[in-house]
Amino acid sequence: MRKLLVATKNEGKAREIKQLVGSYFDDVVTLNDFDNNIHIIEDGSTFEENALNKAKSIYLLFRQPTLADDSGLEVDALGGRPGVMSARYAGENATDEDRIKKLLDELKDVPENRRGAQFVCVLVFIDQQGRIYQTKGICRGKIAFETRGENGFGYDPVFIPDGFDKTFAELDSQIKNQISHRAKAFENLKKILGEIYNEGTCDK
């Protein structure tokens, strides 16, 4: 029985991670699946630092294979903001709606050809023995002028990935899971998991 602990409290992110991680684990649980008051401070200046901090904090508490995802939206016209601040862009207790409203407001005078943006996802996996692995994925696109669609989570209703004219929230979750920043980071993570779990001979 191989268990993966995912160091996230974001339900939308957790759902995608469960779909993307594949068959390497029999059981995938997140911080929302058990009673806890664990609060991880995300004060790093990069996605890499935050993902590493989240993964390490949880691994040190449970000593089980742990995965953390730090992600966010970098908007060209805002010099890469909100970036690592994506979750706190509109304040600590703001909702996805508040964040989107603030973003659309900041971009209200930015024309279509300057609305380029990218989603970034950094995954940090720590195996049973405490070895650390990191992967990254980027998905380019542009910011819509208004929200569209109900699928996904976070900034999905305003992000139109390159090659599509629909937002992530209008696209099927299966499509998002093929092209997203998270999907790309998982492509590389799965190669690593394959090496650890399929080719290893000892119990990891």
Q: Which residues lie near Mg ion (CB under 5 A)?
A: 42, 87
Partner in contact with 75, chosen from Mg ion, ligand ITT, none, beta carbon below 5 to 8 Å by kind: none
154 annotated to bind ligand: yes
39 annotated to bind ligand: no
66 annotated to bind ligand: no
Partner in contact with 180, chosen from Mg ion, ligand ITT, none, beta carbon below 5 to 8 Å by kind: ligand ITT
Report the nearest approach of ligand ITT to the CB of residue 202 (Å). 31
Closer residue to ligand ITT in complex, CB, 65/72: 72
SS3 153: coil
Closer residue to Mg ion in complex, CB, 71/135: 71
Partner in contact with 137, chosen from Mg ion, ligand ITT, none, beta carbon below 5 to 8 Å by kind: none
Report the nearest approach of ligand ITT to the CB of residue 70 (Å). 4
| Active site annotation includes 96 | no
For residue 14, give every residue at least 6 positions away whose Cβ sits within 8 Å of its Cβ, in sequence order, or none.
6, 8, 30, 32
Closer residue to ligand ITT in complex, CB, 152/193: 152
Q: Which residues lie near ligand ITT (CB under 6 A)?
A: 8-10, 13, 42, 69-73, 86-87, 119, 152-156, 168, 180, 182
Partner in contact with 53, chosen from Mg ion, ligand ITT, none, beta carbon below 5 to 8 Å by kind: none
75, 82 contact by CB (below 8 A): yes
26 annotated to bind ligand: no
Catalytic residue among 26, 27, 69, 70: 70
Q: Indicate the pairing of strand 116-126 with strand 159-161.
A: unpaired
Longest pairwise C-alpha distance within the chain: 58
Reported for 101-108, long-range contacts at CB under 8 A and 24+ positions apart, including other chains, are: 103/73, 103/75, 103/143, 103/155, 103/158, 104/143, 104/145, 104/146, 104/147, 104/158, 106/78, 107/75, 107/77, 107/78, 107/143
The residue with tokens 């998905």 is 139
Dist CA 101 CA 111 (whole Å):
17
151, 133 contact by CB (below 8 A): no
Tell me which residues are annotated as active site: 70
- Per the annotation, binding residues for substrate are 8-13, 71, 153-156, 176, 181-182
Q: Which residues are annotated as a binding site for Mg(2+)?
A: 70
